[in-house]
Structure 1
Amino acid sequence: MKAPRKLIENISIHGIGYIFLEHVSRYTRVFWSLVVLTSIGGLLFNNYVLYQKFNEVPDINVRTRQVFSNKIPFPAITVCTPLFAKHHLGHIYNTSTLLLKKGKPEVTLNLSIEEQNYLASNIHACSPDLSINLKYHVENRTDKNILKLLNESSLTLSEALINCGFKAFVTDCSYVFNRVLTDRGFCYSFNLQSFKTIFNENIISSDFHSYKRSNIRKSVSVNNPLINEKLDDSNEVLKWSLDRGYGKDHQDDSVPIKAEKGKFFAFNPYLNESDTKNVCMQIGNIFSFYIHLPNEIMLPMHQEHYVEFKRKREITLAAKSYKVDEGLRKFPPKIRGCYFEGEKKLKFFKTYTKGLCEYECMTNYTLKECGCVKFSMPRTSDTPICSVDNAECYFNSMMKWPDYQKTNDMFEATCGCLKSCSEIKYEVKYDKISSSENVMFVYNIYNLSKA
């Protein structure tokens, strides 16, 4: 059946008429048939390419809006002293210039067995070069329990911090700080979630029980702090998450505390310099502090901030909150480039963040390379802890780790550490530094966050 001439002449697509009109020659009709079919095929192929591209890399637009700061948590703050050792190691430091001579096993320090034991535990938190040098001086040690010796020789919370407070000052810093295990040794954390809500407690080694809070108060009263109740660490449930934010049952004194306008946090670091020595030969009595999410322990990849003893430093915090639209859940995590809550499980930690994922993967890499892990790495109770003899290996593995992430084809398959679909980033601004006997840190969050 021939198509009506009037209809064919009115078709706007050029070339169709040459296919169906009677007066057109056979060769012309074949030529235009091929042209039209090729055009339709090219159009369909182009649409297919665009569809595939959208599937692989969705076109995500970022929208910015302001939210009240009390919708996000005040950060966790972890404070570390310089690696100080108490009187146990007093004899070592008369020969500190010799310690700085790299790779000199013939240098004799004449250390007692006790001093060798304590030095062997402390140097794990030093720089790699110094640790490798110092290991030659602890060959006769008898006690190889790193954590026990590190705990005995490092400063307690009351020896390192005085007059701490959040909204109000108290003389006992254990009311707001918890002593925790980090790659810098034992440090002190504020506003950190409970052991039960951070770790998979049936898997993680009991060495990490230091994260169990023993004296943290729900709130602090200036007049009588003893009347305040302690946080119930054993029965605490998760009341905040990156994806869902705060639940309806969250109370003002629950951890993590909300970052409401005008809240401040402060503490006075302290050192009895006559009774402490710096194992790592760090220049100056410098305290380090790290600002991180309340559901993350302090990690090696967190930014380090400094303040010197007897120097006053004030900082202001601003926070930015990022959240991926729920509509992107239909795409696989690899395509959208992030994980929603519950999409990826970690072995040692209950909640997922990119930092915790990379820390677990770094631990697995170190275990594979050295047959042991650093004392602060997440591990099971039967995972070997590297001794001083293995220090060079695990330091080297940690130094090679960034390149391994970028160049190893198996990294993405074995680790797959994408960012979280909800993120909070804290920005630090230093206000002023001054000499002061009354040392104090002040943290204020007063800016609105962006989401």
Structure 2
Amino acid sequence: MPKRKCDRPATRGKKGPARRTQSTTSASFAITPPFTASNFWANESATSSRSTSLQINDCLPQICCRVWWALIILVAFFMSSSLIRKSYFKWQSSPIIVTFATRETPIWEIPFPAITICPEVNAHPKVFNYSDVYLKYRMKQKTTEEEDTYFRLYSTICNEHLEFVDQNATKLMTNDEFVMFLGSFADLQMEQCSWLGDSLSCERSFTNILTSEGWCRTFNMLHPDEVYVNAGELSENHTRRAQEWSLEEGYPAGVGLNTYPRRTMLTGAKAGLQLDLFVDDSNLDYLCSEISGFKVTLHHPAEIPDMDTHFRIPMDEAAVVAIKPSMIKTSEEIRSYSIYDRLCYLPGERQLSNYKIYTQQNCMVECLANYTLHVCGCAGFYMISQEDVTHMCGAGSRKCLEEARVSFLENDLEDFILGRSMGEKIQDPRECFCLPSCTSISFDAEVSQSQWDWRKTFHYKEHDESFNITFERYTLTNLSLPQLLLSGTTFRD
């Protein structure tokens, strides 16, 4: 038998008698070699290709096999470690995953949004005309002390004409000036209101609310005593309170349609709110506001309206506002996570100073007021309680108010970009960590508008006895017809 290339030579032993070997023909015995990486590799290779097995056994030493398997184990270890590390950092940065609900939510399970409407005309023309006084200043005509006071007050909300305002003498607004200011705002004029196709009392259904635009009217908002810590005179003309409804639980089963806050079960023009808004031509004040019409914003019934997110309803136009709600719910398992991990507040975890109900919008309003008070030494007349007018900004602080708002929003954006932690933010008393509520509802609006030739309609209906509107009353009037309705009977959370 020829000698194999890699076989070891026969071992030479001492001389002695030859050993006898006995062979049997009835059976053969084989001893299984011990399991090693080399044997395993050789056996596996032998089943696929005899020539490959011979080459590996002949040319690859045993240490090469060990190095090969060590490299494979190291590569697998580093790859698995990398995946584990990536998963850990992903969980650490966003342990809570927001997903779409598997079922659609009917619209009657959530309240109809609160609707806040502000007229573009701020001052009541019979009390004060901003344009007339401004022209007197321009023409260097004499003005009364009352006109000077009103001009300073309305310079806080009208278009910027601050060259005639003493910046140093009007940093703060006195209590008497504040009361005088509130009593001079123009009222929102509404002729007809309907809800779910039925006539509605505009005066009883819309209540006053103080915003950055002055006095506005709001529909379907919670009672001020349920929203504000100190509601003051805001609660005087508000009669309805929440009935069997809460922000976290919603409406219980078995509650009828006639509840509060209001809700609807259908969609379309007859399943929402319809208004007739009008403005007299004599009320227009183009130096105070160059745009005529109405500002409208949608918000949760428990939230303070943010008029910076408004949309406009022009005069002499009909507008259809399709409202699309969106809601975020949380599972019970989220309660075991800390606030730092879930990044939202459960009921009772965050208390505000000025508002009884925590929402992200209410928190932002309060924190902006605190930040403005820290930077400017005063806050806007709409930011703080009506009982505390000692730190209310006047016209001389308007520039500081605007800069403080921009700085506040920039700080929030910087915190988001830099990923500043909650603990780092709380150390700064000027900042708030206004996380959303774990259960929250928001509303988006799609507005479509068209020309409304209401004068022709009123002219033909003037002799209709069932039409109780006199056309002569509106000869110098501009009307608007907004319809606000939900865009569908269901939506996805």
Give TM class, smaller chain.
0.7 to 0.9
Identity in percent: 18
Provide closer, same or farther for how the CA distance between residues 277 and 63 of structure 1 changes in structure 2, counting only shifts above 3 A.
closer
- For the pair 1:366 / 2:372, whether they are aligned, the reply is yes
> Which of the two has higher C-alpha Rg?
2
Distance in 1 (CA, whole Å) between partners of 2:376 and 2:98 is: 44
Q: What's 1:428 paired with? A: 445
Q: Deviations over 1:195-241 (max 9, x none)?
A: 12212x2xx4xxx424315254xxxxxxxxxxxxxx2x5xx577221
TM-superposed deviation, 1:254: 2.7
TM-superposed deviation, 1:193: 0.7
Whether the 8 Å contact between 2:276 and 2:481 is mirrored in structure 1 is yes
Whether the 8 Å contact between 1:164 and 1:268 is mirrored in structure 2 is yes
Q: Deviations over 1:82-140 (max 9, x none)?
A: 213232224x53464687x8xxxxx745221112222222222224x33x335249969
Whether the 8 Å contact between 1:146 and 1:375 is mirrored in structure 2 is no
Q: Secondary structure at the match of 1:439?
A: strand
Q: What's 1:246 paired with? A: 251
Distance in 2 (CA, whole Å) between partners of 1:273 and 1:149 is: 24
Q: 1:185 aligns with which of 214, 219, 222?
A: 214
Q: 1:88 aligns with which of 127, 131, 143?
A: 127
Provide the aligned C-alpha RMSD in A.
3.8
- What are structure 1's unaligned runs of at least 5 residues? 15-24, 102-106, 217-230
Whether the 8 Å contact between 1:291 and 1:426 is mirrored in structure 2 is yes
- What are structure 2's unaligned runs of at least 5 residues? 1-31, 43-60, 456-478
Q: 1:156 aligns with which of 182, 187, 202?
A: 187
Distance in 2 (CA, whole Å) between partners of 1:337 and 1:171 is: 41
Provide closer, same or farther for how the CA distance between residues 5 and 390 of structure 1 changes in structure 2, counting only shifts above 3 A.
farther
Whether the 8 Å contact between 1:182 and 1:376 is mirrored in structure 2 is yes
Whether the 8 Å contact between 1:74 and 1:191 is mirrored in structure 2 is yes
Whether the 8 Å contact between 1:181 and 1:187 is mirrored in structure 2 is yes
Whether the 8 Å contact between 1:123 and 1:280 is mirrored in structure 2 is no
One-letter identity of the residue aligned with 1:174: E
Provide closer, same or farther for how the CA distance between residues 54 and 8 of structure 1 changes in structure 2, counting only shifts above 3 A.
farther
One-letter identity of the residue aligned with 1:133: E
TM-superposed deviation, 1:41: 6.2
Q: Secondary structure at the match of 2:128?
A: helix
Provide closer, same or farther for how the CA distance between residues 125 and 170 of structure 1 changes in structure 2, counting only shifts above 3 A.
farther
TM-superposed deviation, 1:411: 4.8
One-letter identity of the residue aligned with 2:117: V
Q: What's 1:450 paired with? A: 492
Whether the 8 Å contact between 1:113 and 1:142 is mirrored in structure 2 is no
Aligned length: 402
Provide closer, same or farther for how the CA distance between residues 156 and 171 of structure 1 changes in structure 2, counting only shifts above 3 A.
farther
Q: Secondary structure at the match of 2:127?
A: helix
Provide closer, same or farther for how the CA distance between residues 323 and 142 of structure 1 changes in structure 2, counting only shifts above 3 A.
closer
Q: Secondary structure at the match of 2:382?
A: coil
One-letter identity of the residue aligned with 1:272: D
Q: What's 2:158 paired with? A: 126
Q: What's 2:412 paired with? A: 405
Q: Deviations over 1:149-178 (max 9, x none)?
A: 222211235xx2222232355574221100
Q: What's 1:419 paired with? A: 436
Distance in 2 (CA, whole Å) between partners of 1:57 and 1:143 is: 48
Distance in 1 (CA, whole Å) between partners of 2:204 and 2:323 is: 23
TM-superposed deviation, 1:367: 0.6
Distance in 2 (CA, whole Å) between partners of 1:430 and 1:62 is: 28
Superposed counterparts of 1:137-286, under 5 Å? 145-157=176-188, 160-168=189-197, 170=199, 172-199=201-228, 201=229, 204=230, 208-212=231-235, 214=237, 216=239, 231=240, 233=241, 239-241=245-247, 243-248=248-253, 250-262=255-267, 263-274=271-282, 276-278=283-285, 280-286=287-293
Distance in 2 (CA, whole Å) between partners of 1:362 and 1:61 is: 28
Q: 1:62 aligns with which of 85, 88, 99?
A: 99
Distance in 2 (CA, whole Å) between partners of 1:421 and 1:278 is: 44
Distance in 2 (CA, whole Å) between partners of 1:12 and 1:297 is: 74
Whether the 8 Å contact between 1:85 and 1:277 is mirrored in structure 2 is no
- For the pair 1:315 / 2:345, whether they are aligned, the reply is no
Q: Secondary structure at the match of 1:88?
A: coil
Q: Secondary structure at the match of 2:448?
A: strand
TM-superposed deviation, 1:75: 0.5
